[in-house]
Structures are given as structure tokens and as C-alpha cells.
Amino acid sequence: MILEARSLRYTYPGASGPALSDASLTIAAGERLALLGINGAGKSTLFQMLNGSLKPAEGKVLLDGEPVSYDRRGLSRLRQAVGLVMQDPDDQLFAATVAEDVSFGPVNLGLSEAEVRARVAEALEALGVTALAANPTHMLSFGQKKRVAIAGLIAMRPSVLLLDEPTAGLDPQGIEELMQALSTLSAAGTAIVIATHDMDLAWSWSTRVAVFENRAIGLAGPPEAVFSESDRLRALGLRPPVLHEIGLALVQAGVLTALPRSMAEMKALIARSKL
């Protein structure tokens, strides 16, 4: 276990009710967690609590079992360990050029020039934006900004990387490259958490799924278990992944013996079946 939200409660100033109420979640090293919930469910609020941008009114955030302290040292330690890619890239990018933006974090970590250069090159490559390195950030497209914002966080090599709707606005190849880069990071031990409305992505990519219900995490577990609760998900305004539903129908019809997590898996399973 590395990062834990324990019974968090928070109400925005002036709001009529809480944005989070008794919200708990534990994030383990190397896991790929998908955080699901309708608009306004509390995903972005929880992310901001997990990296210390917001302080819970009640409850605790724990890093490696220790409650976070909200002084300068505590917050700097938390933010070094927990990177947050915000929903809107314009909230994240601020430097004049792409290369400057991505190198800002590593430079601030006090790394050598060679190490900074290597990390920036690696992060730009992973997000497919190497060719944009010298470009002004304000002249990028939305999807390009999003990729650069993610590259900037990857270059920091946090223990936990929180990404708020990272695929929204990316083209199909961009999504594939990003998820591949995130899988590589998780294989090296980084915990990756994505808040997403893409159920199909959550099904194909995550090792665990957590779902918001009534301002808290109501349902969490392996994707197979969470997505089998289709009535509960529908009641929450969510729909199960298409591939999961098709797979379930084919398993029930006796055609398949397992649920496919990707199109390639589906084809392989069908080829092996008696269909």
C-alpha cells in the first residue's frame, strides 16, 4: 500500500452539500486503477485531495501509512510522490515551450542537466510529441497540450500518477500510445489511477475499478466483479463495457469460456470455440 484516502469529507465553499462524504480508497504500488462516476460524482475532487491541492475537512490522506502533514515540507513530499495530471491541460501548462514545460519538474527535483535531458526526451517520446519539443505551448492543439501535460508528469517519475480523464480529446492512436506508456510505468511499479468516462477502456486496461456512489467509493474490486453488477452501475448512470456485455452473452450461450478484455482476445477466444 502506498496512498490511502480514509473517510474523506469535503464541502466546497458556498456549496449546498458535500462533494465527498466518507470517501475511502487505497492505492497499491503498480496497480492500474480506473475511477468511474458520472459528472459531478467527485472524481476530480478526490484527486485534488490525494495530491494535497485540497485539504479534507474530515478524514485523512496517508502516504506510506503516514498521515500527510499540510505544511510546506509535507506537501512537497506528497506532491513529489503523487503526480496529478489535471482534467484541463490549460490548468497545467505554463512554460513558453514544450521542452521547457516538461523539464520544469525534473529541474526542480535538482537533477543533473544530463538526467533532466534524458527524462524529458523519454517522456516526449512516450507521448509521441518529440517533434513538438521546440513549439510554443500556447500554439498546440487540445490533444497535443494534453499529451505534453502528461509527459511533464511522467518526467517526474512519481510513485502514484493520477490522471483526470487523460484520454478525453486524444485521437485513437494517441490513446493507444498513452495507455501503452502508462502500462509500462505500472509494470515498473508506478501506481496509475485514471478517472474516466470510457467504460471500454476501464475494462480493457485496468487491474481494479472503483466507482463513485453517493459522494463516496461505493463499489471497488477487480473489473470482472465490478462490471458484473450491471444493474447497480446503470442505477448510477453508468453503462457496462460493450465487450463485457457481448462476452457475457457469448459465455451464457456456451460459445465462449472466458470474458474477452480486448478485441484481439475476443477473436482468439472465438477461434478456439466451436463457433
Contact 133, 124 (CB under 8 A): yes
Q: Which of 43, 119, 145, 157 is in the footprint of ligand ATP by CB under 6 A? A: 43
Which secondary-structure segment (H or E) carries 248? helix 242-252
Nearer to ligand ATP, 5 or 269 (CB): 5
Question: Bridge partners of 21?
Answer: 9
* Residues 1-40 close enough to bind ligand ATP by CB under 6 A: 12, 15, 19, 37, 39-40
Question: Bridge partners of 192?
Answer: 32, 161
Q: Which among Mg ion, ligand ATP, none contacts residue 136 (Cβ within 5 to 8 A by kind)? A: none
**Residue 241 lies near ligand ATP (rule: CB under 6 A):** no
Q: Helix (H, G, I), strand (E, B), or coil: what is residue 216?
A: strand
Q: Which among ligand ATP, Mg ion, none contacts residue 41 (Cβ within 5 to 8 A by kind)? A: ligand ATP
Q: Phi, psi (5° rounding) for residue 193?
A: -120, 125
Strands 3-10 and 160-164: unpaired
Q: Please state, in angstroms and rounded to a whole number, the distance separating the CA atoms of residues 47 and 160.
A: 11
**Residue 42 lies near ligand ATP (rule: CB under 6 A):** yes
Q: Give the nearest distance from C-beta 253 to ligand ATP in angstroms.
A: 35
- Binding piece for ligand ATP, criterion CB under 6 A, among 23-31, 42-50, 174-182, 219-227: 42-50
Q: Name the nearest CA neighbour of 151 among 174, 170, 173, 125.
A: 125
Binding mask 52-91 for ligand ATP (x = CB under 6 A): -----------------------------------x----
Note the residues at the interface with Mg ion (CB under 5 A): 43-44, 87
Q: Please state, in angstroms and rounded to a whole number, the distance separating the CA atoms of residues 143 and 176.
A: 13
Q: Name the nearest CA neighbour of 48 among 100, 86, 15.
A: 86
Nearer to Mg ion, 80 or 87 (CB): 87
Q: Please state, in angstroms and rounded to a whole number, the distance separating the CA atoms of residues 28 and 32.
A: 9
Nearer to ligand ATP, 116 or 233 (CB): 233
**Residue 199 lies near ligand ATP (rule: CB under 6 A):** no
Q: Which residues bind to ligand ATP, rule: CB under 6 A?
A: 12, 15, 19, 37, 39-45, 87
